[in-house]
Amino acid sequence: MEKQIFIYENSPQWNMLFEDGKLLATKGADEIYLIEELADKDSEILYEAYKNEKIHEVKDGATDEKILAVISKLEKAGVIYKKDANIALLKLVNFSVSWIGNPNQKILNLLEQFSKNSKQIHFGADVNTPDILIMIRTSAKLAETMKDYGKIKYPHLFMDIAYDHTLSLGPLVFPGETACLGCFIGRVTRSWGDAEPPKLPNIGNSQELAASLILEQIRAFQKVGSCPELIEKVWTFNLVDLTTKTDNIFRLPWCPVCYPDKPREGLGSFELPWKLKNNQL
């Protein structure tokens, strides 16, 4: 497999301006943000890099923590997003699916059926050489996801359908570059435990919904080499009250995958979207 080269691309929903020595990020006249952490010279350097879509070059050469922090902030806000430069050149994207728990054959059939009719997306059974791997948890503990997880060196997207009426999608992970499943699962299990789900969770019956959400993200990946809305984010959908929720995921200093040489300590919090009010059934 080719060595992955990560670059940044500008979101078409955002623009950056440089006025009076200050850097501005805007989504339109009704939503403008002043970025005031940088000196005038650094603001201009970052602006020029943004205009020429070369922010990755600034990041690679930066030693100032303030510049790195601003680039990280722009990425989290969605002003820029990370993508695989090799994938961006591909007309055909190969994806594979791995299951944490019992495979859902109908979801698999729907994904295979779509890929057969597409000239841009190809479904392959080999989980060792995809451009993007879709990891789907159905009936196993979250801890099962971490078995051999450190060996995955290519982009992967997590979907969780191990619940009664809640489906979650994300994060999309670029190994070594963004918050991984170890960061997400470590935070959840430390705070909420890891109860074993039923053999056939009810949400698994919404196969068409699950497959369509996966396909939309694969389309996005095929176009831009990324799924910008799911980098370091988890999106959830509650089928009972039809509400959605998005949570940010951060790289945890005790994550055994991101920081294998650091001690595992500290706790994090993560508000589960399926938590019952007042903890009452």
Average pLDDT over residues 68-93: 77
Would you say 174 and 155 are in contact if contact means Cβ atoms under 8 Å apart?
Answer: yes
Per-residue confidence (pLDDT) for residue 267, from 0 to 100: 43
**Domain coordinates in residue numbering, the chain:** 6-86, 92-279
| Overall residue count recorded for the chain in this entry | 281
Q: Is the pLDDT of residue 270 over 50?
A: no
Under the banding of pLDDT at 50, 70 and 90, the label for residue 125 is low
pTM for this entry: 0.68
Give me the DSSP letters along 95-160: EEEEEESS--HHHHHHHHHHHHT-SSEEE-S-TTS-SEEEEEESSS-GGGGGTTGGG--S-EEEEE
CA distance 166 to 5: 35
Per-residue confidence (pLDDT) for residue 91, from 0 to 100: 67
DSSP secondary structure letter of residue 37: S
Under the banding of pLDDT at 50, 70 and 90, the label for residue 72 is confident
Per-residue confidence (pLDDT) for residue 191, from 0 to 100: 66
Under the banding of pLDDT at 50, 70 and 90, the label for residue 271 is low
Q: Is the pLDDT of residue 107 over 80?
A: yes
Per-residue confidence (pLDDT) for residue 90, from 0 to 100: 55
CA distance 35 to 67: 11
Q: Name the class of domain 6-86.
A: alpha beta
CA distance 157 to 54: 26
Average pLDDT over residues 236-253: 92
Q: Is the pLDDT of residue 239 over 60?
A: yes
What is the fold of 92-279? Answer: Rossmann fold (3.40.50)
